[in-house]
């Protein structure tokens, strides 16, 4: 049960109902992370715009990399809601439940490419100790692998976005939907 009042789909009216209907049409269903913002409907629109640009917009990062980073940030923050949603997305791409489960619990034990492992390290570090994230230790290893500044920027945007969302979810008591995390459009 959320810690604050929310407006259900059945009780939504006016602009909020329009926003809910748009979300269902574009994403496949309405998530509780959106419903938690129902008292201020325009923030849902701004939130979705940011989410879609960071997670689905044109980027040199692959979709699976963005979802992988989302899971690492959410696991670092112990945000079960976001882990469930974004692990489901990673599973869509990886098609390997054991590998996804390992990503959720300890990514360092995975056999990832050096580039992906370094993105995971950056996600973990920037979430745990943002002021201790140095160019030499966390960015240079990526650059040495040929990762562009644009890729580093986009990875950092994913990391920052999920720290933002994790705090909404954890701070306002958003629980996983009764029907679970699946059923969204991932591509």
Summarised one tens digit per residue, pLDDT across range 96-149 is 999 999 999 999 999 999 999 999 999 999 999 999 999 999 999 999 999 999
Residue 187 has pLDDT above 60, yes or no: yes
Question: Over 70: is that where the pLDDT of 183 sits?
Answer: no
Is the per-residue pLDDT at 185 higher than 70?
Answer: no
- Residue extent(s) of CATH 1.20.1290.10 domains in the chain: 63-172
When pLDDT is cut at 50, 70 and 90, the band that residue 51 belongs to is very high
Rounded to 5 degrees, what are φ and ψ at 40? Answer: -135, 75
Per-position DSSP letters for 108-140, written without gaps between them: GGS---HHHHHHHHHHHHHHH-GGG--IIIIIH
161 Cβ contact list (under 8 Å, min separation 6): 50, 51, 54, 55
pTM: 0.93
- pLDDT of 181 over the 60 cut: no
Please tell me the class of the 63-172 domain.
mainly alpha
CB 133, CB 125: distance < 8 Å: yes
Give me the chain's average pLDDT, please. 94
What is the average per-residue pLDDT within 46-75? 97
Q: State the pLDDT confidence band at 176, using cuts at 50, 70 and 90.
A: confident
- Reported as a single tens digit per residue, the pLDDT across 22-48 is 999 988 888 999 999 999 999 999 999
């Amino acid at each position: 049960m959320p810690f604050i009042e929310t407006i259900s789909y059945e009780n939504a009216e006016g602009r909020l109902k329009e926003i809910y209907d748009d979300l269902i049409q574009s994403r496949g269903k309405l998530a509780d992370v959106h419903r938690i913002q129902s008292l201020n409907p325009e923030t849902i629109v701004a939130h979705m715009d940011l989410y879609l640009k960071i997670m689905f917009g044109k980027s040199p990062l692959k979709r699976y990399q963005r979802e992988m980073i989302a899971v690492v940030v959410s696991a670092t923050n112990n945000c079960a809601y976001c882990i469930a949603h974004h692990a489901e997305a990673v599973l869509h791409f990886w098609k390997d439940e054991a590998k996804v489960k390992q990503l959720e619990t300890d990514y360092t034990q995975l056999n990832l490419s050096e580039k992906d492992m370094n993105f995971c390290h950056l996600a973990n570090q920037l979430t745990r100790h943002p002021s201790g994230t140095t160019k030499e230790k966390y960015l240079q290893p990526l650059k040495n692998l040929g990762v562009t500044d644009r890729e580093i920027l986009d990875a950092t945007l994913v990391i920052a976005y999920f720290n933002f969302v994790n705090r909404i979810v954890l701070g306002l008591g958003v629980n996983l939907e009764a029907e679970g995390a699946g059923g969204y459009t991932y591509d």
